[in-house]
Structure 1
């Protein structure tokens, strides 16, 4: 994929301050570029190349070095956070519905509550100024899902017996991804060695993609199961 000869890449100290968000990535920074220059960077190797191709929303990593500077960067980062929150929100709504489908009133309340928590999470994520703040914005969504899965496990909620394991794996992978990104492992142990490949942000992307795949598999199990399930009739 990286087939074009790109511009001269920069070291950490030569790149603008708003792009120095990981001081353990020492080389391979793209120079400030026009829109066309950012697009061209899809085809030569630099330290965001792996991030672009392991990300579901490529806009942030592709255009973060746009000549518009920090305002453009902040806007792209906010859009990226909104996308992550929407995946968390929209992906969980069917899980809530199926888990609580035999309790219609509780189900509606849970859907509304999770939507409000998610809206708050989006606000926190888009205004946070650090990776820790952005990760913390997703905590309440994760805790809500844990309670939901516990409800299923105890037998009060419903759903495919196979999907609970898949949904639990989904959240564990997402949490691991966030923690890896926050801890900056493995580049913390050898700054510069992981500038182009296998740094914490790329690992996080892969884990999050795997998390989404497990969510998809879990939903397929639930959707197949729901075709043959009917809530018991209460006397």
Structure 2
């Protein structure tokens, strides 16, 4: 296994990775030799302005590489984005394979249809897109400003995809006997999702003057999830709505999303002890972990809602 040694100076951290490589001598023999590959991690005051985002994280930066190969190499040593990459990469891979092998992880009823599989897979697809686009952004954001900007746009797009697929999948089973409600609220979700995707991808809407409107649109998108709950409560009653969409899991999901976003917004805990959470435990990593926990809460509620529908049928 490679060995990682960290050397700390006054201004930067150098990570030395010792590995084993094969070397061919004169074409007739192969001997193993050790080679030291040095990856230098930089401090806040050593990176370009465009890379600066959180002044409370002092060190551990991968400086602008202008190389996709260099960004990929960063997967194999520890820096301050490693937690952000792997906390979404590994669950993203899990959701992908669960989507492919869903017949082995979902209870099958005599009434189970291909549409049921598609709706559950819709959520798996949304979670996969969100987590993979996020991990790719954090892996390649050190390439250049242009690549980081594109990656940030795709990161937001992944969030929109996850929200849309989460809401539609749970509404399908919650309104299984009321297609009018399902199609109406699904159309509303697509409308909000399309608007949020547009303001996330178009440079014109990403300017400073559009920031409050962009934030307001995302807030409205999130609050729109309350509308089908209110409609269900009016039509079915509180207790029945609670059962149909497994509201306890949806509320827990929302709590983890909001709490994670709050910690990220206030930069807790690194704001209060700058430099202590440079590599592990800073707010963005906590936010990533809570997003994954929230996704699993939704999955638990979605599968329970599916089972309730078919046990009644």
* TM-score strictly above 0.5: yes
Distance in 1 separating the partners of 2:3 and 2:188: 49
CA RMSD in angstroms, aligned pairs only:
2.4
SS in 2 for 1:138: helix
Alignment counterpart, residue 148 of structure 1, candidates 213, 219, 228: 228
Structure (1 or 2) with the larger CA radius of gyration: 2
More strand by share: 2
Indicate yes or no: 2:80 matched with 1:28. no
Aligned runs of 1:214-225 on 2, under 5 Å?
A: 214-225=297-308
Question: Is the CA contact 1:9–1:29 (under 8 Å) kept in the aligned structure 2?
Answer: yes
Q: Is the 8 A contact 1:100 1:107 kept in 2?
A: yes
Asked whether the equivalents of residues 171 and 245 of structure 2 are also in contact (C-alpha less than 8 Å), the reply is: no
Could you say which residue in structure 1 is the equivalent of 2:280?
Answer: 197
Q: Distance in 2 between matches of 1:2 and 1:90?
A: 41
Tell me how far 1:229 sits from its aligned partner: 3.2
Local SS of the residue matching 1:8: strand
Question: 3-state DSSP class of the match of 1:42?
Answer: helix
Q: 1:189 to 1:204 in 2, by over 3 A?
A: same
Give the conservation status (yes or no) of the 8 Å contact 2:245–2:302.
no
For residue 247 of structure 2, the aligned residue among 164, 186, 208 is: 164
1:54 aligns with 2:87: yes
* Alignment match, 1:106: 181
Supply the distance in 1 between the matched residues of 2:231 and 2:268 (Cα, whole angstroms): 34
Q: Is the 8 A contact 1:65 1:73 kept in 2?
A: yes
How many residues were matched structurally? 227
Tell me how far apart the structure 1 counterparts of residues 3 and 194 of structure 2 sit (CA, whole Å): 41
CA–CA separation in structure 2 for the residues paired with 1:71 and 1:78: 11
Tell me which residue corresponds to 2:191: 116
Alignment match, 1:233: none
Unaligned residue ranges in structure 2 (runs of 5+): 5-16, 18-37, 89-130
**TM-score normalised by structure 2 residue count:** 0.66
Distance 2:163 2:215 in 1: 13
> What is the TM-score when the length of structure 1 is the normalising length?
0.87
Q: Give the corresponding residue for 2:166.
A: 91
User: In structure 2, what is the equivalent of residue 11 of structure 1?
Assistant: 43
The structural deviation recorded for 1:140 is 2.0
Q: 1:174 aligns with which of 234, 257, 272?
A: 257
Looking at structure 2, the residues matched to 17 and 96 of structure 1 have their Cα atoms a distance apart, in angstroms, of 44
2:222 is equivalent to residue 139 of structure 1:
no
Unpaired runs of 5+ residues, structure 1, are 231-235
